[in-house]
Amino acid sequence: MSSQEGSSDVLGIMEILLTAEIFNKNQDLDINDLNPRSRKFFGAGSGGSPEVKRPLLVSEGAIRKVFDSDDAATTAIRKNPFVGYEEFGQRLSITSLDPAAAWFVKKGGASLIEKNPVLAYFFEGKDSVSVSYKDVRGRNFRFEDTKEYLDARVSRVVGESEEMREARDLIIINAPDEIEFSIDRLVCTPRQEEAIQKIGIALENRDFLKARGIYEFGRLLFVGPPGTGKTSLALAMSRELHMPLLEVRLAMVTSQYLGETSKNIDRIFELAKKLSPCILFIDEFDFVAKTRVSDDHGAMKRAVNMLLKNIDQISFVKNGVLLIGATNHPRLLDEAAWRRFDEIVEFPLPDEEMRRQILEKVGSSVDCTCDFSDLAARTEGFSGSDLRMMMKEAIISALMEHRRRIEPVDIEQGLLRVEERNVIRGTGSAYV
């Protein structure tokens, strides 16, 4: 057998052929059984629709486009006796599934089966591979989490109403698959972890809670200094809970035509309900307090009261909208703002153990001689953002010296940069 026959391109093409054959034969399989590469190859989900038209077909043209390979891999595939070729449509297909599946495993395809629910569905229970279809499908990125699906939903909603189009222009919408932050990349306090778990449980049991009239749930206020992870956790929750995140900065909502501000707030909450289940993340929530205290304009005060009224009426259980407010200045919030939230989640500056964990996670992807325990002890007062910036500066320092290994001198350079930044910002604090 030639080396080409067992190459990654050949295995990849065979994976696509097996996926098409198994999917076409099993009507119970749906778009969430196709892994992202298969969705791309077959055009599944284009236009935002979750429907997959059978039969899935594999053409030579699509193979060349997706795999960016020459004809050698396709030629190697066609030599197999269990692969058929249709000259008229230049299409390939599996003619004998069991021999093709056995060949795929023998040539190293087991690792691909672990990432492909369609293949896991077929191979589960067979002696050749130990795999759980349920586990593989659970790890597969859901189509409902993709930007394509969300964009289609948003288009349908805003196409129905001029008011919804105006609301769309005032928020930043992120689909779960666009978000780089994940829970396992963050270092959370026990209280933060508990809040995530409670939301997950409520999401799974919304019907149970709704039937019992338990609606006062799912309005969280994230409180803590800048750089402690409030926005990062909100983004990570979007990915973890499979809900799009709608980000609102209240200062952006304030129209130059103040009379429109109240309407804008109403529209944003209405849009969130139409896109539920989702997370509505209101950053810089202290803007409310500043406005209530310092602004004498009646229209603005009415807008703030409208915001508080909408918060009163929103419910994760009833509407499917998880509301998260975030503030760096909790002392500015008055009682009227505080009592709108079911839970207050604190984001303190990380203690020494949390700093060590953050540094280890940030440094895990680079070659570094750092003593993270010692570094954690030296960085008292650093936020998580400060620590990540320090490591980024250390990496840049090494690259400027044409190195990819982080040395102590690079860490010192990173510490210096963060200290300088904090002095410029006006803290005047020394951290080393």
pTM of the predicted model, to two decimals? Answer: 0.84
251 and 151 within one domain: yes
Name the average pLDDT for the chain: 88
pLDDT for position 250: 75
Instruction: Give the number of other Cβ atoms within 10 Å of residue 100's Cβ.
Output: 18
User: Where are the alpha helices (H) located in 124-205, listed in sequence order?
Assistant: 133-139, 147-159, 162-168, 190-204
In this prediction, residues 382-397 reach a mean pLDDT of 94
* Helix, strand, coil % over all residues of the chain, rounded to 5: 60, 10, 30
Distance CA 50, CA 261 (A): 36
407 and 284 within one domain: no
Distance CA 334, CA 324 (A): 17
Q: Are the C-beta atoms of 113 and 131 separated by less than 8 Å?
A: yes
Distance CA 346, CA 335 (A): 17
Q: Which long-range contacts (CB under 8 A, 24 or more apart) does 251-256 make?
A: 251/284, 251/287, 252/170, 253/170, 254/300, 254/303
pLDDT (tens digit, 9 = 90+) per residue, 125-145?
Answer: 998 899 999 999 999 999 999
224 and 154 within one domain: yes
HSE-up (13 A, CA, CB side) for residue 393: 19
| DSSP result, 77-125 | HHTSTTEEEETTTTEEEES-HHHHHHHHHHTTTHHHHTT-HHHHHHHTT
Closest CA to 91 of 134, 62, 123: 62
Distance CA 374, CA 356 (A): 9
CATH code of 324's domain: 3.40.50.300
242 and 149 within one domain: yes
Residue 387: strand, helix, or coil: helix
Determine, yes or no, domain membership for 375.
Answer: yes
Determine, yes or no, domain membership for 430.
Answer: no
Determine, yes or no, domain membership for 77.
Answer: yes
131 and 240 within one domain: no
Instruction: Give the number of other Cβ atoms within 10 Å of residue 255's Cβ.
Output: 16
Determine, yes or no, domain membership for 208.
Answer: yes
Question: Of the residues 94, 112, 140, which one is the last residue of a structural domain?
Answer: 140
For tokens 């895990």, name the residue.
364
Determine, yes or no, domain membership for 291.
Answer: yes
Determine, yes or no, domain membership for 39.
Answer: yes
pLDDT for position 67: 77
Q: Are the C-beta atoms of 239 and 250 separated by less than 8 Å?
A: no
| Residue 410 backbone zone (phi > 0: left; psi -120 to 50: alpha; other: beta) | alpha
Q: Are the C-beta atoms of 165 and 275 separated by less than 8 Å?
A: no
Q: How many domains are contained in the chain?
A: 3
Q: Are the C-beta atoms of 325 and 220 separated by less than 8 Å?
A: yes
**Alpha carbon distance, N-terminus to C-terminus of the chain:** 62
pLDDT for position 296: 55
pLDDT for position 430: 43
Which residues make Cβ contacts (< 8 Å) with residue 310, sequence separation at least 6? 265, 266, 269
Closest CA to 338 of 348, 347, 327: 327
pLDDT for position 208: 95
Q: Are the C-beta atoms of 178 and 239 separated by less than 8 Å?
A: no
Question: Of the residues 78, 105, 140, which one is the last residue of a structural domain?
Answer: 140
Structure-token pair, residue 260: 């429109």
Determine, yes or no, domain membership for 55.
Answer: yes
pLDDT for position 390: 94
Question: Of the residues 140, 163, 185, which one is the last residue of a structural domain?
Answer: 140
Determine, yes or no, domain membership for 432.
Answer: no
114 and 89 within one domain: yes
278 and 397 within one domain: no
In this prediction, residues 94-121 reach a mean pLDDT of 96
Please give the residue range of the domain that contains residue 366: 352-425
* Cis bond before residue 36 (omega within 30° of 0): no
| Residue 295 backbone zone (phi > 0: left; psi -120 to 50: alpha; other: beta) | beta
342 and 195 within one domain: yes
228 and 102 within one domain: no
User: What is the chain's Cα-based Rg?
Assistant: 26
71-78 helix and 8-25 helix, angle to the nearest 10 degrees: 60
157 and 126 within one domain: no
| Residue 385 backbone zone (phi > 0: left; psi -120 to 50: alpha; other: beta) | alpha
pLDDT (tens digit, 9 = 90+) per residue, 56-80?
Answer: 999 988 888 877 666 777 788 888 9
Closest CA to 271 of 168, 388, 415: 168
pLDDT (tens digit, 9 = 90+) per residue, 188-224?
Answer: 999 999 999 999 999 999 999 999 998 888 999 999 9
Q: Are the C-beta atoms of 34 and 19 separated by less than 8 Å?
A: yes
342 and 252 within one domain: yes
389 and 312 within one domain: no
Distance CA 236, CA 180 (A): 8
pLDDT for position 432: 41
